[in-house]
């Protein structure tokens, strides 16, 4: 079945391809979005409760294979149609003419909401983990949800300032972040393997299923636990939404996307195996008062709060650094959707800052929306987590629809 597309639409997107090839010239190359691999271990509680270590191990393998396959497919599409709209522009190239407008609109909104949810998850993780470390180190600290929201807002403000005022140094920030990520991975990996006083048997890591989720069916519980593994591998399409600011998007985007999955997957799996073998008592990790099992795991491994804080600080820093490029990609989706007149106040939202050559208004509005999400945490952390968890589901949907369309077009 061939995709139906009008000559006018084809002409419009051929022009778009040419504009994208020229680029704004700000970004020579976008490094793979690898920072989320380091934050995975703070979100592993879902997998530990719903399936236990085997769910994390095999769930990660399945997620890695699936993410690599979809990244390769999207990379091919991005090299053919390098536009900032990404998935919904791909849909417009491949969907039948009778449904192209509606489907493109739906995918565009799903992509935008998905990116906003992902962009909210990193600063929230960093902020609430700082609270967890305060609980670990200071018995007198009284945990309050609004404290976490204030830290969340502070990280958002810093991310917005870097995106607006420091837009020209974003590639440098990304390079430094990647270097820190690799060095931190090596240090933490070596420390937990060498210092850990206990080692679990292989059966605990690869065989013994644990289901404390409340689901009567282990299969359902295992699928729920896979969300932890899926989260670490989202975000590899970030480069697509910056393609109009690259000099060579047809080459750089595929390299960034596939590279992100390969680096995240390799480092993530190695770290996961090390953590599960060295984690110590599982019950104490799940019952921790810090809110994050990884904090208790590091405490069990090192035997003192200062060393655990030092190890956890790498996760806090990486989550904070990840907030910057995540905001960048989310704001570009808001901008391009407004440019295509799929959002309210399109003329205002789609304005480009002539001096900085970035969509300053879109960055500010996206930051404001993310700030509003933080208010939900004051009322209920569970409600905030439920909304942010949509990131994985929405992300999966928005990447699978274009891939399915590619299969249809290719017959």
- Nearest to 90, CA basis, from 237, 247, 245, 264: 237
Statement: residue 28 has pLDDT above 50: no
The pLDDT assigned to 404 comes to: 55
Two tokens, residue 197: 């006083």
Confidence of residue 346 (pLDDT cuts 50, 70, 90): confident
pLDDT digits (tens, 9 = 90+) for 263-274: 888 988 999 999
Statement: residue 154 has pLDDT above 80: yes
CATH assignment of 32-406, among 3.40.50.300, 2.70.70.10, 3.50.50.60, 1.20.1740.10:
1.20.1740.10
- Nearest to 82, CA basis, from 143, 14, 144: 14
- Nearest to 42, CA basis, from 329, 273, 305, 275: 275
| C-alpha–C-alpha distance, residues 30 and 178, integer Å | 11
What does the domain layout of the chain look like in residue ranges?
A: 32-406
The pLDDT assigned to 26 comes to: 41
The pLDDT assigned to 17 comes to: 40
Cβ pair 250, 82 in contact under 8 A: yes
The pLDDT assigned to 403 comes to: 59
Statement: residue 262 has pLDDT above 50: yes
N- to C-terminal Cα separation, the chain:
6
Confidence of residue 362 (pLDDT cuts 50, 70, 90): very high
DSSP state of 388: H
| C-alpha–C-alpha distance, residues 43 and 227, integer Å | 9
- Nearest to 37, CA basis, from 55, 65, 72, 64: 64
Statement: residue 227 has pLDDT above 80: no
- The owner of tokens 């987590």 is 385
pLDDT digits (tens, 9 = 90+) for 45-79: 778 888 888 888 998 999 899 889 888 888 888 89
Cβ burial of 72 (10 Å; 0-12, 13-18, 19+) is middle
pLDDT digits (tens, 9 = 90+) for 174-191: 888 888 888 999 999 999
Task: Quote the mean pLDDT of the chain.
Answer: 82
Q: Which long-range contacts (CB under 8 A, 24 or more apart) does 3-9 make?
A: 3/93, 3/94, 3/95, 3/96, 3/405, 3/408, 3/409, 4/96, 4/97, 4/98, 4/100, 5/92, 5/93, 5/97, 5/100, 6/97, 9/92, 9/100
Q: Which residue blocks in 281-389 are alpha helix, DSSP H?
A: 282-286, 293-302, 305-339, 346-349, 360-379, 381-388
The pLDDT assigned to 121 comes to: 87
Confidence of residue 224 (pLDDT cuts 50, 70, 90): confident
| C-alpha–C-alpha distance, residues 62 and 76, integer Å | 22
DSSP state of 44: T
Cβ pair 392, 230 in contact under 8 A: yes
More confident residue, 384 or 320: 320
Cβ pair 209, 51 in contact under 8 A: yes
Region 346-373: mean pLDDT is 92
Flag the least confident range among 14-23, 68-77, 324-333: 14-23
pTM of the model: 0.83
DSSP state of 240: G
Statement: residue 16 has pLDDT above 50: no
> Distances in Å between the alpha carbon of 139 and those of 191, 288, 305, 309?
26, 14, 12, 15
pLDDT digits (tens, 9 = 90+) for 229-242: 777 787 788 888 88
| C-alpha–C-alpha distance, residues 48 and 225, integer Å | 7
Confidence of residue 40 (pLDDT cuts 50, 70, 90): low
């Amino acid at each position: 079945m061939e995709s139906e597309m009008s000559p006018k639409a084809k002409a419009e997107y051929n022009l778009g391809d040419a504009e994208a090839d020229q680029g704004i010239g700000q970004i020579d190359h976008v490094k793979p979005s690898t920072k989320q691999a380091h934050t995975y271990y703070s979100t592993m509680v879902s997998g530990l409760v719903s399936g236990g270590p085997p769910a994390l191990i095999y769930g990660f393998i399945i997620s890695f294979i699936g993410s690599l396959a979809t990244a390769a497919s999207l990379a091919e599409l991005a090299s053919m149609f390098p536009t900032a709209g990404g998935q919904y522009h791909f849909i417009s190239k491949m969907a039948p003419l009778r449904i192209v407008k509606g489907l493109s609109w739906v995918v565009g909104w799903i992509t935008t909401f998905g990116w906003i949810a992902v962009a909210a998850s990193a600063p929230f993780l960093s902020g609430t983990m700082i609270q967890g470390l305060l609980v670990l180190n200071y018995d007198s600290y009284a945990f309050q949800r609004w404290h976490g929201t204030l830290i969340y807002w502070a990280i958002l403000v810093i991310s917005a300032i870097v995106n607006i005022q420091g837009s020209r140094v974003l590639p440098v920030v990304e390079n430094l972040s990647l270097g820190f990520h690799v060095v931190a991975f090596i240090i933490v990996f070596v420390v937990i393997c060498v210092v850990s006083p206990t080692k679990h048997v292989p059966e605990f890591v690869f065989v013994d299923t644990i289901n404390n989720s409340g689901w009567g069916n282990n299969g359902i519980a295992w699928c729920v636990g896979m969300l932890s593994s899926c989260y670490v591998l989202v975000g590899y399409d970030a480069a697509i939404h910056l393609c109009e600011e690259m000099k060579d998007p047809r080459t750089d985007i595929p390299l960034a996307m596939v590279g992100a999955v390969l680096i995240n997957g390799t480092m993530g799996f190695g770290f996961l195996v090390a953590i599960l073998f060295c984690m110590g008592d599982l019950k104490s990790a799940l019952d921790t008062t810090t809110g994050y099992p990884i904090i208790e795991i590091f405490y069990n491994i090192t035997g003192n709060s200062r060393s655990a804080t030092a190890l956890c600080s790498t996760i806090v820093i990486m989550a904070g650094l990840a907030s910057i490029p995540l905001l960048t990609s989310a704001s570009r989706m808001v901008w391009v959707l407004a440019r295509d007149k799929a959002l309210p106040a399109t003329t205002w939202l789609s304005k480009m800052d002539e001096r900085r050559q970035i969509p300053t208004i879109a960055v500010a509005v996206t930051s404001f929306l993310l700030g509003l999400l933080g208010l939900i945490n004051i009322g209920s952390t569970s409600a905030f987590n439920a909304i942010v968890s949509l990131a994985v589901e929405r992300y999966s949907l928005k990447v699978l629809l274009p891939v399915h369309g590619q299969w249809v077009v290719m017959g």
